[in-house]
């Protein structure tokens, strides 16, 4: 981390709550100020924010038919294998 480990630790401990909008404004401000001075934490927060956004977007899109069909076939094979055991 660009900042000192002791300065980064509270940031790392609260990133999930920060990204989920669960922190008080004061705690959010502290994280944002820290990230202005700490490139490593800023990159981590940005990357996690992007990842969370991609995951949320992926859930809203339908699977392509070929992918859906392969997934169903895989589940059927697993169920058939478990039933045979």
Q: pLDDT tens for residues 6-40?
A: 889 988 899 999 999 999 999 999 999 999 999 99
Across residues 51-67, what is the average pLDDT? 84
Distances (CA, A) of 20 to 17, 29, 52, 53: 5, 15, 9, 11
pLDDT confidence tier of residue 49, bands split at 50, 70 and 90: very high
State how many domains the chain has: 1
CA 15 – CA 30 distance, rounded (Å) = 11
Across residues 53-59, what is the average pLDDT? 81
Domain of 74, in residue numbers: 5-84
Please name the residues in contact with 1: beta carbons below 8 A apart, sequence gap of 6 or more.
Answer: 7, 8, 38, 40, 41
């Amino acid at each position: 981390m660009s900042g000192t480990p002791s300065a980064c630790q509270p940031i790392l401990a609260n990133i999930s709550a920060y990204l989920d909008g669960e922190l008080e404004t004061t705690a959010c401000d502290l994280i944002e100020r820290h990230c202005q001075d700490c490139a490593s934490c800023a990159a981590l927060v940005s990357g996690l924010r992007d990842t969370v956004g991609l995951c949320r977007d992926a859930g809203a899109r339908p699977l392509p038919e070929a992918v859906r069909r392969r997934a169903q076939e895989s589940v059927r094979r697993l169920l058939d294998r478990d039933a045979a055991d």
